Amino acid sequence: MHKPDKDTIIHYLKTLQSEIISTFESIEPKEKFIYKPWPYSKGEGGGRMAHLRGEVFEKAAVNFSAVSGPALPFNESKGSFFATGVSLITHMQNPHAPTVHMNVRYIETEEKFWFGGGYDLTPMGFPYEEDKTFFHQIAKKTLDPFDLKLYPQFSKKAQEYFFIPHREKERGDGGIFFDHYNTGDLKNDFALWKAIGSSFTETIMPIYEKRIITPYTDQEKEIQNELRAHYVEFNLLYDRGTKFGFKSNGNPEAILSSMPPSAKW
């Protein structure tokens, strides 16, 4: 079985992390991301967290990790594993600017390998249909050159995955989501995966540039915090990435960086 070159994948992910950080910092007037490396205590490798607390981004995290160990969580495949990826979250000062999440990951075991990830948009009480339409248009534009069937498939998977059962609602405005992706065409699969990661800033930056200057009230900030509570509930109860991180003995600070700086129940 021919597998992707790990060094090539890691180089792409580290470059992607740096590019996203630079893009976010371009709209943050004073603060910069703070970097914090961490070692993987239960195997080899580790990661680099990058966190920001600023005037535009109340909290943002853009994290990279690459770890290997003796056994993959959830018994998905036997033998040792290697897992790497970039994961990010934003929680904005302005309630009219939505939270956004993105993750691209690659996982390899002795038996198989696959790609996964996606991105999704979550307004915190103030949805704009034009923002949702734009976000999905960029996702579709990214996927269509590979296969016209992919956007409908990945969008539907996002609707199903980013659903809060006890609230009986989607977490937000959806996006794209895919996992265990391996068609047998390594070159094409790798190109698709990279295209998704590299298109992320195109989906969100025009939205942020428009919404971060919208006036807001203290009452609207309260509404934002109430919706953030739903985000916390999903990530702690249902999110696979959170569960995978803890099951694989990952860094708790990095795993929980998706939590908002404040929330209200």
- CATH code of the domain in which 237 resides: 3.40.1500.10
Entry pTM: 0.94
Does residue 234 carry a pLDDT above 80? yes
Percent of the chain at pLDDT above 90? 84
Mean pLDDT of 218-234: 97
What's residue 75's pLDDT?
61
Mean pLDDT of 242-250: 82
What whole-number distance in Å separates Cα of residue 90 and Cα of residue 92?
A: 6
Measuring CA to CA, how many Å separate 226 from each of 181, 233, 262? 35, 11, 9
What's residue 182's pLDDT?
97
What's residue 76's pLDDT?
60
Q: Which domain holds residue 230?
A: 6-258
Neighbours of 211 (CB within 10 A): 19
Mean pLDDT of 115-133: 98
Does residue 212 carry a pLDDT above 80? yes
What's residue 69's pLDDT?
86
What's residue 240's pLDDT?
86
CB 36 within 8 A of CB 51: yes
Burial class (CB in 10 A: 0-12, 13-18, 19+), 99: buried
What's residue 40's pLDDT?
84
Phi, psi of 56 (to 5 degrees): -95, -50
- Whether 1 maps to a domain, the answer reads no
- Whether 69 maps to a domain, the answer reads yes
Mean pLDDT of 232-248: 89
Phi, psi of 113 (to 5 degrees): -150, 160
- Whether 265 maps to a domain, the answer reads no
Confidence grade of residue 77 (pLDDT, cut at 50, 70, 90): low
pLDDT tens-place string over residues 5-24: 999 999 999 999 999 999 99
Mean pLDDT of 214-225: 98
Mean pLDDT of 195-223: 98
Confidence grade of residue 83 (pLDDT, cut at 50, 70, 90): very high
What's residue 232's pLDDT?
96
- Whether 67 maps to a domain, the answer reads yes
- Whether 264 maps to a domain, the answer reads no
35 vs 249, more confident: 35
- Whether 142 maps to a domain, the answer reads yes
Measuring CA to CA, how many Å separate 23 from each of 28, 92, 103, 122, 237? 9, 15, 16, 20, 31
What whole-number distance in Å separates Cα of residue 48 and Cα of residue 38?
A: 6
What's residue 43's pLDDT?
74
What's residue 156's pLDDT?
98
The 3-state DSSP class for residue 221 equals helix
148 vs 71, more confident: 148
Does residue 250 carry a pLDDT above 80? no
What whole-number distance in Å separates Cα of residue 107 and Cα of residue 28?
A: 33
What's residue 74's pLDDT?
65
- Whether 201 maps to a domain, the answer reads yes
Mean pLDDT of 238-255: 85
- Whether 49 maps to a domain, the answer reads yes
What whole-number distance in Å separates Cα of residue 85 and Cα of residue 101?
A: 13
Does residue 106 carry a pLDDT above 70? yes
Give the active site residues.
101
Percent of the chain at pLDDT above 70? 98
As a dihedral over the C-alpha atoms of residue 3, residue 9, residue 11, residue 12, rounded to 10 degrees, the angle is 140
The total number of structural domains in the chain stands at 1
Q: In this predicted structure, which of 41-55, 81-95, 177-191, 240-254 has the lowest mean pLDDT?
A: 240-254
